[in-house]
């Protein structure tokens, strides 16, 4: 029993590290850069983590239960979907009006859904690696479930911390320096587009 907790702690810490991978950070940044409240920046990370964790649990446990691996080619196509999503997020953020109001109930609800959907897409793309990691780290269905759950909790914590820190300069600039704030949002959008294109190209060269 004593050897279980270090393994689960490893999963938690690995999840926190996983949350800050470049494709995750850039995708969420397009949302965080447009928030007007720091609490919304934090919630963006939380809902991303929830969507990411749900996908990993459903797909990961299904694969583990049937003792199957996601084919490498399928995993590559799922990664390509992430690249396309990042490009779309960048374009949408660049073209959206600068005066976005997330304070209304409907806007906040849409904001949470968008963050969750981004997490779900990232979770689909990461399922293949998660299945392999879990199967080589722990044994047994309940241990696998616990490991993925703790990994997911780590991603929630890691992304919440990151989006909170990232949101500070954007929220402050919206209050103090509107012109600089607009420039920062456009810059984040262009970085997202460029990275998404690079990401797609990198995946296509491996197919």
Most distant CA pair in the chain, distance? 57
Which structural domain, as residue segments, surrounds residue 49? 4-206
Domain count, the chain: 1
Cα–Cα dist 64/66, whole Å: 5
Confidence of residue 101 (pLDDT cuts 50, 70, 90): very low
CB 118 within 8 A of CB 51: yes
pTM of the model: 0.88
Q: pLDDT band for position 17 (50/70/90)? A: very high
């Amino acid at each position: 029993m004593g050897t279980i907790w270090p393994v689960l702690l490893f999963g938690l810490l690995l999840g926190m590290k996983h949350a800050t991978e470049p494709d995750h950070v850039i995708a969420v940044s397009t949302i965080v850069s447009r928030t007007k409240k720091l609490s919304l920046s934090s919630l963006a990370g939380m809902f991303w983590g929830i969507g990411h964790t749900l996908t990993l649990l459903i797909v990961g446990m299904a694969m583990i239960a049937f003792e199957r691996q996601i084919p490498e080619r399928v995993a590559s196509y799922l990664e390509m979907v992430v690249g396309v999503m990042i490009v779309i997020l960048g374009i949408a953020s660049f073209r959206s009006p600068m005066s976005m109001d997330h304070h209304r109930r409907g806007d906040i609800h849409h904001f949470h859904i968008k963050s969750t959907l981004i997490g779900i897409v990232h979770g689909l793309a990461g399922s293949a690696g998660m299945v392999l990691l879990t199967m080589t780290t722990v044994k047994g269905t309940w241990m696998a479930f616990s490991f993925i759950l703790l990994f997911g909790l780590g991603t929630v914590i890691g992304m919440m911390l990151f989006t909170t820190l990232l949101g500070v300069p954007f929220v402050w600039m919206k209050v103090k320096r509107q012109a600089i704030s607009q420039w920062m949002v456009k810059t984040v959008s262009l970085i997202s587009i460029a990275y998404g294109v690079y990401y797609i190209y990198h995946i296509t060269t491996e197919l």
